[in-house]
Amino acid sequence: MNTDYMKRVIELANRGSGFVNPDPLSGAILVKDGQILGEGYYEAYGTDTAELKVLRKVQGDIAGSELYLNIEPFQSEQRIWECLNLIKELGIVKVLIGMRDPNPEKKIVFQSELAKLQIDCEIGILSEECEEQNEIYSYYCKHKEPFVIVKWAMTLDGKLATRTGDSKWISSEDSLRFVHILRQRVAAILVGENTVRQDNPLLTTRLEGMKISNPLRVIVSKYGNLSDDAQILKVDASVQTLIVASEFLPKDREAALLEHGVQIAKLKEREGRIDFRDIMKLLGSMGIDSLYIEGGSSILGSVFESGCVHKVYTAIAPKIIGGRTATTPVGGTGIERMRDAIVLKRVSHEIIGSDVIIKGYMD
């Protein structure tokens, strides 16, 4: 076993980010005598997975080689059987896998089938890295609702913006690039109408030198109070917008929004607002496996109160702006006692540019 090969597999798999949802990121390497004979990754939803690409194209003396995969083969039974047959025919002696396929609907136990063919199989190489890489897939295939990531950038004194609402830019350039990497990974990105009014964002992915996938832009606007000049309403073949509104959305606003080519979903109001749990069910029914929420304060407060958050990123910039009325990240009612505070688990941090990025999980 060589963990460096699995690191390469993980790196390859990441190249499919934004193009394979709701399937997992998948990479494969075929190795013999310390030499890589072939490598590949899952490039787009519904195409051949990494292992099939490698096994179909590899040439030369393959017998005695080892196959590295970050995740078990996961597509149709027909393709899994093809993979097993190719492994046998090519004389591959061992398959090393980062993580099992967590899909509860899967019927083929890959390791057991390899054992029947007298092919060695080891599962769990760099398992933590592989499982985090495909945490979106693991959650969605079990729950059929999006894995929810929230992120905000704040100053050292915990502010999202100055007292006048100015927030451009709190984060460093490197930290802003990290935001676009997150956007590339997910199927949808969500903000509230206040953010649209204040920042007029595009919410597209912008990464130089990379093939880009834009997530579905989801705007929560109860009564459709969005300016016709909002950039978010500009849609084309590469970027789409969904307005999540109340069942009481005025007809004239609905008609005006539809003229821009956006989609509209109307949900029932609960205690005068749109419940995030209903939004999750809606997006899940649309095949949206992941949702990235950028705020602002009101939306973040609502989503935390709903209990829908799974992962949190906070970018802390070494800046101090002060001000009692300056916006803080998480709005809503808030808690009364410190003992009731949300405590993140599996917390880690890294420095990107001049900012500290803290990552943690709600579980």
Q: Taking a C-beta distance cutoff of 8 angstroms, is the pair 249, 266 a contact?
A: yes
Assess contact for 12 and 25: CB atoms under 8 A: no
Spatial CA neighbour of 318 closest among 355, 263, 268? 355
At 10, phi and psi to the nearest 5? -60, -45
Number of other CB atoms surrounding residue 148 within 10 Å: 27
CA distance 71 to 83: 13
51 flagged as catalytic:
yes
218: three-class secondary structure by DSSP: strand
Beta-sheet pairing, 273-274 with 290-295: unpaired
Structure tokens at 255: 């008609």
Helix (H/G/I), strand (E/B), else coil: 144 = coil
* Contacts of 360 by beta carbon, 8 Å cutoff, 6+ apart: 311, 312, 344, 345, 346, 347, 348
The rounded distance, in Å, linking the Cα atoms of 161 and 153 is 9
From 11, 39, 51, 77, active-site residue: 51
Q: Quick one: which of 77, 73, 12, 64 has its CA closest to 33?
A: 64
Active-site amino acid positions: 51
